Structure 1
Amino acid sequence: MTEEKKAVVSTKSGKLEGVYEDGLHKFRGIPYAEPPVGKLRWLPPQPVKPWDGIRPAKKYGAMAPQIAAAAPRDFPGAPDFGDVPQSEDCLYLNIWTPGLDDGKRPVFFWIHGGGFTIGSGSETFLDKGVLAQRGDIVMVSINYRLGAAGFLNLKEITGGAIPSTGNEGILDQAAALAWVQDNIARFGGNPDNITIAGFSAGGMSVGTLLALPAAKGRFCKAVNRSGAANMVGTPAEALAIAQEFLGIFGLKGNDIDGIRNLSTEKLLDGQTGVGELMRQRGKNPLVFQPIVDGVILPHKPMDAIRQGYARQVTVMAGTSRDELKSSSAGDPSLKNLDDDGLVKRLSASLPDTIIPGLIAAYRKSLTDAGKPAAAADIFSCIDTDALFRIPTLRLIEAQQQHGARAFNYLFTYPSPAMGGILGAMHGLDNPFLFGALDREFTGNGEKQQKLAETIQDSCAAFMHTGNPSCRSAGEWPEYGNTRKTMVFDTDTRIEEDVFGEEREAWDKYTL
């Protein structure tokens, strides 16, 4: 419900008029950089030009061009970005604030997920701003360039004629962060108390920003949700992707005009084509990702973090127990998977030396818990931990080594959808964090509401003080040597070394 209440703010770029809804001032579609179109395509984000008069900020800005998610829109937990158009002119952010005053509230800077190819800061679970109101914080969400527009390195293959490093999407995030630091005080926020946070590729972006010189000093806390600091590419991999991408259109690196003249639709076609080629070859389907180019991103994020680059940042990081169960449930190739097939699939991405130990550990853990332990179940669990949980624990451990405070959680509440077969799937915890429960996907009874409030309160406490302990969650100790972990479920509790037998099986695995 919209109430009659003036919401006009003067920023360094110009005046903005938002709306007052749900007890919050909301500003949507704020440009934080010039539109990256025409000659600015594949360049770092450029400062937004000031405007005259009062600019309306009542509707979301266009989201980055993308192909719809593979899951049908009515599938439980399928992404929903609202009725928002797509355009390469997509560098916008949104703000929810309880007050346009000098309240110096903590700032929550949210980076959406989507495998660096889909997503938007207009995710519908954000819209009401429940977390901002309950936590008395200023909440920000952003768009950034995706896919070939944001993560395609053309510098090498074109001899520098097109200077994109493959990090333009990450630089967009840093530019949005800089805009927020410069202007958020005018929205009741504290520029010296910014928490960057993200889910999935957004969490991986947070891990990258921890090691990005362009973002250093612009935030003091980080929340990695189902994404750590492990998804980056090398220059050699980036060059190979660029060759494949251009080859789809019959282009060479010296055909500069042909490359620049590719339409938005062609960029999306190229993304799809390269992704399919990688899948056919059994390679990482996450084709578009940040690149360790030695300049924009000087080192692998985990290497930089291990060296203490982010020692000043307090971290809260965690995952869901069954991240990939929803994708496994829809994968027909897993239906008849036997142990030989399990070993073969794991060998595509993991060292052969650790695979027998992993299979034995996960089979025992699942069996002891009274859960199905067929080859497909074991594969789903190992795949989840390889991509999400183990990198998250390594990030926490690396921060601790340099004296930084680090907190871990594991979300284990299962979705009631589809008879419960999805478990605590990827993204199920987001509606709990942002107060957007429903009957089918999350359940919306008293227990679920209590869990949502506990997750919101602990996150807000972390933003305010750097410690997620709060009345609803109780004392939340640092991860420490005993690996204390907050287990979020209808019986939320602290446990030490959760699923330790599984974790130990990864000890010889180096990220």
Structure 2
Amino acid sequence: MTVCSTRQGEVRGRTPADGVTRFLGIPYAAPPFGPRRFCAPLPPAPWTGVRDATAHGPTAPHAPYAPPFDVLFPDHEVPGEDCLNLNVWTPAPEPGAGLPVMVWLHGGAFSHGSGSASAYDGTAFARDGVVCVTLNYRLGVDGFLRLPGRPDNRGLLDQVAALRWVRDNIAAFGGDPDRVTLFGESAGAMSIGALLTTGAARGLFHRAILQSGACHHFLRPPSAARVAARLAERWGIEATPEAFAAVPLAELLPAQVELRAELNADPVPARWGEAALNMMPFEPVLPGLALPGPECGVDLLIGSNREEYRLFLAPTGRLDALPESSLRSLTTAYGLDPDEALPVYRAARPTATPGELLDAVATDWFYRIPAVRLAESVPGSHLYEFAWRSPGYGGTLGACHALELPFVFDRLHDPSYAPMLGDRPPQALADAVHGAWVSFAKTGSPGWPAYDRTTRTTRTFTVGPEAATADDPRARERLLWAGVR
């Protein structure tokens, strides 16, 4: 057992045979319930003696994924109110080691997931000389629903509180508080996109890796108010903090899943605002798109997966069943003229079905173009694309959303990843991806040239001859989005 000191008290971690010390379930903020419900996070209460930190703490309340996604993303839930906690993996749990720090923000559409899932075990990062931190933050109604008299973006405020904990305490665990890399995927990356222009987060992280998310996913206040009103309407209550607090969690959590299903079934902008295209009722509430610009002061590594949207098409059967009429109407909804855009996408995919073409268009709208816009806005950024194709669902998953995660964490044999990865995922690719993330955290360079508007250098992660850097891949498709996205 190993003991480290925090500002709240001492914690006891565990060091198994691999030599990596784990401290699990350390509170970084007070439990956000009772009179603290829907409020900004407050510091945790101090304790006396040595607090045991050898088991994961409670997870933020959330519902499991609905079928068929529950198979691809197994739920991890630990009940309890003390859910604003974090985990630390370190190879050198003593002050003065000065190791780089990586802080992980999990994805899950701002409604699902936790930072303590085995999929996000930080052992490989600690093995390679990095102190790794994962955390839980409030989700869904508690984290992101717009409520009168309460602060917006409570989930983001939790993330800032966790980063402040890292600043104040991580040196005791061997980390350097002046070398913090914040990294996240999907909703976690979108959170980072918002934090890049959040004054309260300035100076708390120095590098950032945004996987499949950037700055373009948010709800303007009127749209967020529509979502709150619709959720309240389902129960016949007022859209107030007091009314929502009176709804038992056993009813509130399933209702969040049902609300998203309703949104997906009838995405009318008049009812949902930006959520009609974003397809997420819970997102950061912001006045408009904000890109950080050259004064950002944070080194950035940004990227997406080549066939992100297949995750939402292949398991549901829509990939093969989508009619041409839906492809055209959705292309129009994303802001493109289908008569102009679809021939460009078809030229590179002459045998593609309408569903496969929708994947290409939607992947660009959701993920690739926002990554490009962020890279364009911050000089010196590095851009990547993950292109290895999953064998899942008969190979139709392709290089889908979230597929890069087991390679980033070098956890190809974690059972939770098996439905996506199949039997023989390439370890050499995990070595390359994980190694690039570690290199970026240590040096600010992942190992290839920075992106600029002239060369647009992009690193492709896959196996085979395409695993290299290229200048401005799929330029004709990128140019379609000028002035649109």
Q: Same fold (TM over 0.5)?
A: yes
Partner residue in 1 for 2:167: 181
Counterpart mapping for 1:358-377 below 5 A: 358-367=341-350, 372-377=351-356
Does the 8 Å contact 1:442/1:448 carry over to 2? no
Q: Distance in 1 between matches of 2:124 and 2:331?
A: 41
User: In the alignment, residue 344 of structure 2 is paired with which amino acid?
Assistant: A
Partner residue in 2 for 1:296: none
Does the 8 Å contact 2:310/2:319 carry over to 1? no
Partner residue in 2 for 1:500: 475
1:230 corresponds to 2:216: yes
Q: Which among 478, 484, 496 is matched to residue 457 of structure 2?
A: 484
Does the 8 Å contact 2:68/2:315 carry over to 1? no
- Aligned with 1:30: secondary structure? strand
Distance 1:309 1:36, change over 3 A: farther
Partner residue in 2 for 1:407: 382
Distance 1:359 1:73, change over 3 A: closer
- Aligned with 1:190: secondary structure? strand
Using the TM superposition, give the Cα deviation of residue 103 of structure 1 relative to its aligned residue in structure 2, in angstroms: 1.4
What TM-score do the two structures reach when normalised by structure 1? 0.87
Using the TM superposition, give the Cα deviation of residue 412 of structure 1 relative to its aligned residue in structure 2, in angstroms: 0.6
Distance 1:215 1:257, change over 3 A: closer
Partner residue in 2 for 1:398: 377
- Aligned with 2:21: secondary structure? strand
Counterpart mapping for 1:233-244 below 5 A: 233-244=219-230
Distance 1:184 1:215, change over 3 A: same
Q: Which among 430, 433, 451 is matched to residue 455 of structure 1?
A: 433
Distance 1:25 1:407, change over 3 A: same
Counterpart mapping for 1:86-485 below 5 A: 86-101=79-94, 102-127=96-121, 129-134=123-128, 136-155=129-148, 160=149, 163-165=150-152, 167-253=153-239, 257-282=242-267, 283-284=276-277, 285-292=279-286, 300=288, 302-306=289-293, 308=294, 310=296, 312-347=297-332, 349-351=333-335, 353-367=336-350, 372-400=351-379, 405-438=380-413, 441-442=420-421, 448-469=426-447, 476-480=448-452, 481-485=454-458
What is the root-mean-square deviation in Å for CA atoms of aligned residues?
2.0
- Aligned with 2:372: secondary structure? helix
User: In the alignment, residue 144 of structure 1 is paired with which amino acid?
Assistant: Y
Q: Which among 63, 72, 86 is matched to residue 67 of structure 1?
A: 63
Using the TM superposition, give the Cα deviation of residue 501 of structure 1 relative to its aligned residue in structure 2, in angstroms: 2.0
Distance 1:379 1:18, change over 3 A: same
Structure 2: where are the runs of 5+ without partners?
268-275
Does the 8 Å contact 1:325/1:425 carry over to 2? yes
After superposition, the C-alpha distances for 1:110-163 in whole angstroms (9 at most, x for unaligned) are 0000000001011212336112212x00000010000001001111xxxx2xx2
Using the TM superposition, give the Cα deviation of residue 407 of structure 1 relative to its aligned residue in structure 2, in angstroms: 0.3
Q: Distance in 2 between matches of 1:396 and 1:64?
A: 32
Does the 8 Å contact 1:319/1:411 carry over to 2? yes
Identity of aligned residues (%): 35
Does the 8 Å contact 2:97/2:175 carry over to 1? yes
Partner residue in 1 for 2:19: 23
Distance 1:444 1:478, change over 3 A: farther
After TM superposition, where is structure 1 displaced by more than 6 Å over at least 4 residues in a row? none
Distance 1:441 1:242, change over 3 A: closer
Using the TM superposition, give the Cα deviation of residue 73 of structure 1 relative to its aligned residue in structure 2, in angstroms: 7.2
Q: Distance in 2 between matches of 1:106 and 1:25?
A: 16
Structure 1: where are the runs of 5+ without partners?
1-5, 293-298, 470-475
Q: Distance in 2 between matches of 1:253 and 1:354?
A: 38
- Aligned with 1:508: secondary structure? coil
Q: Distance in 1 between matches of 2:53 and 2:75?
A: 18
Q: Distance in 1 between matches of 2:261 and 2:311?
A: 20
Distance 1:54 1:209, change over 3 A: same
Partner residue in 2 for 1:473: none
Q: Distance in 1 between matches of 2:421 and 2:46?
A: 43
Using the TM superposition, give the Cα deviation of residue 23 of structure 1 relative to its aligned residue in structure 2, in angstroms: 1.6
Q: Distance in 1 between matches of 2:156 and 2:92?
A: 30
Question: 209-218 or 110-119: which moved more?
Answer: 209-218
Distance 1:440 1:343, change over 3 A: closer
Using the TM superposition, give the Cα deviation of residue 8 of structure 1 relative to its aligned residue in structure 2, in angstroms: 0.5
- Aligned with 2:184: secondary structure? strand
Q: Distance in 2 between matches of 1:142 and 1:477?
A: 31
Distance 1:341 1:410, change over 3 A: same
- Aligned with 1:303: secondary structure? coil
Q: Distance in 1 between matches of 2:281 and 2:419?
A: 33
- Aligned with 1:230: secondary structure? coil
Using the TM superposition, give the Cα deviation of residue 71 of structure 1 relative to its aligned residue in structure 2, in angstroms: 4.0
